[in-house]
Structure 1
Amino acid sequence: MSEYVVFGGARSRAMRVLWMLEELGLDYAVVPTLPRSEDVRALNPTGKIPVLVEDGVAISDSVAIMTYLADKHGRLTAPAGTIARAQQDAFVQAVNDEIDAVLWAAARHSFILPEEQRVAGVKDSLRWEFARNEDAIADRMSADGPFVMGEEMCLADILLSHCVGWAGSAKFDARNDRLLAHNAMMRARPAFKRALAAGT
């Protein structure tokens, strides 16, 4: 029996968790399910995916799960209580605030909210915001290495690459050269390809 069970699939934020598990070389099982399904609601009252189950305990939110796995296994993160960790956490929060939130708003007004609650015109504003924010995120990336925090890969790299890929599928194509180069490097990793196959 696998140590970890992931609810969700590659076409959701669960991909971040699958990718993290692959990078860490951990054994896991996938339950391919959709948001708000009964099995997910039984684990997470919001119905959102991903959910990670370990020893019968459910953990929700992709970044919380990634942080937990990194801390538990001592990889893909700076140690807690260090300046490096604070900088890493700040970068993660910035990606969530400036990129993920914009893409999530676009998704909500495309197919998630009831049709009468959608505001089609908001997408032009969101595209403008995305273009501005991608440059701001790129400016925060370290100049000392290929990864966002420098020479060592961390969970922030997975988060950023997932968001850039999500942007492409949502027709919010990234144009910043640093983000595009980083994304190409990350998606060439064997762990990414294994995670994609596992979640599809």
Structure 2
Amino acid sequence: MYRVIGTVKSRAFRVMWMLEELGVPYNVMPAAPRSEEARKYNPLGKIPALVDGDDVLTDSVAIMTYLADKHSAVTAPAGTPARARQDAMTLWLIDELDAALWVNAKHTFVLPEKLRVSGLTPTLHKEFSRNIETFAGMLEAAGGDFIMGDQISLPDILAVHCFGWAFGAQFPAIPEAVKAYTKRLRARPQFRAAQDH
């Protein structure tokens, strides 16, 4: 059985949601970032980690990709143009949305005060807003319930997690179409099951 190291209120939630979508059993070992428990699985103390037998994997997107490929679900098949488009979307979400949220977190509460750079938040909000408008256009072009086509895939999990994080961090409001998309995906029983950990 898979073991997820982390907490629901972290990027570990992405992994839990992916596992719920795959319908495979797992358990959660709660561990805060930089905690002694987290460092047992990642010397940097970052979460999440995934334990699969003797293997320990780190980085939420790498773990989700591994799981989707291993179970041949919630992803386009490797080596196909559809997968290349999916990977491009995943990397864009990491570069343009997740990165802004993480930089904001580091400079508002993660880093020691003496290392924080004040005044970054307005720029990060502006960049995030511009990119979320771009995402809204991509969603409209996709023409369905999901960003990559007619079924949920890894980028949907990543995007919805980022939008929830943005809401909690009081980033600017998101477009109505993106709100409806987020609400629809958060209503999935798999999302709700992941929240129960």
Q: TM-score, normalised by structure 1?
A: 0.95
Shift of 1:36: 1.0
User: CA contact under 8 A between 2:125 and 2:172: conserved in structure 1?
Assistant: no
What is the match of residue 148 of structure 1?
147
Q: Indicate yes or no: 2:15 matched with 1:17.
A: yes
- Taking the aligned partners of 2:95 and 2:136, their CA distance within structure 1 comes to 14
The one-letter code sitting in structure 2 at the alignment partner of 1:161 is V
Match of 2:43 in 1: 45
User: Secondary structure at the residue paired with 2:196?
Assistant: helix
What is the correspondence of 1:86-97 to structure 2 with a 5 Å cutoff?
86-97=84-95
Distance 2:190 2:61 in 1: 18
Matched, 1:26 2:49: no
CA–CA separation in structure 2 for the residues paired with 1:65 and 1:58: 10
After the TM superposition, which segments of 4 or more aligned residues of structure 1 sit over 6 Å from their partners?
none
Residue among 70, 73, 79 paired with 2:77: 79
The verdict on how the C-alpha distance between 1:187 and 1:173 changes in structure 2, with shifts beyond 3 A counting, is farther
Where do 1:107-186 residues align within 5 Å? 107-141=105-139, 142-186=141-185
Alpha carbons 1:16, 1:162 under 8 Å: kept: yes
Q: How far apart in 1 are the matches of 2:39 and 2:172?
A: 33
**Deviation of the 1:55 alpha carbon:** 0.5
Q: TM-score, normalised by structure 2?
A: 0.96
In the alignment, the residues of structure 1 paired with residue 75 and residue 167 of structure 2 have an alpha-carbon distance, to the nearest angstrom, of 27
Q: CA deviation at 1:138?
A: 2.3
Q: Deviations over 1:90-119 (max 9, x none)?
A: 000011001000000000011111101112
What residue is the counterpart of 1:69 in the other structure? 67
1:139, 1:87 → 2: CA distance? 16
Separation in 2 of the partners of 1:6 and 1:190? 19
Output the amino acid matched with 1:196.
Q
Contact 1:94 1:137 in 2 (8 A): no
Residues matched between the structures, number: 196
- Write the distance in 2 (CA, Å) between the matches of 1:115 and 1:75: 43
Cα deviation per residue 1:64-92 (whole Å; 9 max; x = unaligned)? 00000000001000000000000000000
Secondary structure at the aligned position of 2:4 is classed as strand
Deviation per CA, 1:120-175: give whole Å up to 9, x if none. Answer: 21111111111111112222334331100111111111100000000000001442
* 5+ residue gaps, structure 1: none
| 2:104 alignment partner, SS class | helix
Task: Kindly state the Cα deviation for residue 50 of structure 1 after the two structures are TM-superposed.
Answer: 0.4
The root-mean-square deviation of aligned C-alpha atoms, in Å, is 1.1
- 8 A Cα contact 2:98 2:162, kept in partner: yes
Letter in 2 for 1:16: R
Say which SS state the counterpart of residue 142 (structure 2) adopts: coil
How big is the shift at 1:14?
0.3
